[in-house]
Amino acid sequence: MIKRILLIAALAFSLPALAASNAPWGSAKELDIEYSKQKVVYDTAVKTVEALTSVLDRASYLSALNGADPFDNKIVIVLHGNEINFFAIKNYAKNKALMERAQSLTVGGIIEFRMCKIAAEGHGYQPKDIHGFVSMVPMGDAEIIRLQHEGYGYMR
């Protein structure tokens, strides 16, 4: 009981000093966590190169955190928005760096791109119009649900 009273008193005396600073709650603590054996599906419908680059960065970093092991990890990026235009062969010259980066992420077999055929057709594209490192699926939403049923975690 005395220890508890002393602890409460110590905290009470330190509160004014913490409240007066710019960090009244102190600093964040860093947790040392190892990640592995994750299957993730990214639901991707973005409008800008910057937004797609952010998805690619996150997927790449997640792959690295998981040890980039193709037997234990899988990341599927489902494309069904305006980013479809970036993957069109006719737009390669305009999006060359972005497409080279996206394709390079598929090399290890961990990250793959699947595009909604319905959405692609809505943008005026057929499978023959899209880069060869992308796979077409009948419907993006249905693919996301199917992958979740297979144990994939959902990311937006």
Q: Domain boundaries in the chain?
A: 39-155
Residue 16 has pLDDT above 70, yes or no: no
Can you tell me which residue has the tokens 């909604």? 116
The pTM for the full model equals 0.82
| Tokens matching residue 133 | 């490192």
DSSP conformation letters of 46-68: --SHHHHHHHHHHHHHHHHHTT-
Query: What is the topology classification, in CATH, of domain 39-155?
Result: Hypothetical Protein Ychn; Chain: A, (3.40.1260)
What percent of the chain is modeled with pLDDT above 90?
72
16-20, 28-32, 53-57, 62-66: which range is least confident on average?
16-20
Q: CA–CA separation, 131 vs 89, rounded Å?
A: 6
Can you tell me which residue has the tokens 């937004």? 51
Residue 71 has pLDDT above 70, yes or no: yes
| Per-residue confidence band for 101, with pLDDT thresholds at 50, 70 and 90 | very high
Residue 51 has pLDDT above 70, yes or no: yes
| Per-residue confidence band for 69, with pLDDT thresholds at 50, 70 and 90 | confident
| Per-residue confidence band for 66, with pLDDT thresholds at 50, 70 and 90 | confident
pLDDT of 19: 52
Burial letters for 21-36: b for 16+ Cβ neighbours within 10 Å, e otherwise? eeeeeeeeeeeeeeee
Alpha helices, DSSP H only, in the chain? 2-20, 49-65, 96-105, 117-122, 140-149
